[in-house]
Amino acid sequence: MDGDDFFVDLLFFHTDQLRYIVIELKAGRFKPEFAGQLGFYVAVVDDVMRKPQHAPTVGLLLCSNKSDRVVRYALGGSSHPVAIASYDLLPPEERAALPSEETIARALGDLSLTD
């Protein structure tokens, strides 16, 4: 986009709900700028990929730790349907299906998961 590259971690399309789901994975503690990044990706998917018959795109950010108060303020002005969850708040079966922090870090090599 305008000479810059941006990469969403995971992008799914829910066939029953007819909506895109943008997922960002962060290995560290939640930071407010993560919400901005997720909102950016949701807005781009809505603008570029979403069709009129599709439901609004949903954003989900998974991080290793979070403060509910920081999340509340970070999402206070958001108009997009987004959610922030820590890995430990997910039900065990969903958590088991996700890669570990170590696996994600290994897959990305020397890249930081917080970029």
Count of Cβ atoms closer than 10 Å to residue 62 Cβ: 23
Is pTM beyond 0.85 here?
no
Look up the CATH architecture of domain 10-99: 3-Layer(aba) Sandwich (3.40)
Measured distance CA(33)–CA(61) in Å, rounded: 12
Would you kindly state where each structural domain of the chain is located, as residue ranges? 10-99
pLDDT higher than 60, residue 89? no
Measured distance CA(38)–CA(101) in Å, rounded: 19
For a pLDDT cut of 70, what percent of the chain falls above it? Answer: 71
pLDDT digits (tens, 9 = 90+) for 12-63: 999 888 999 999 888 888 888 888 888 899 999 999 999 999 998 988 888 8
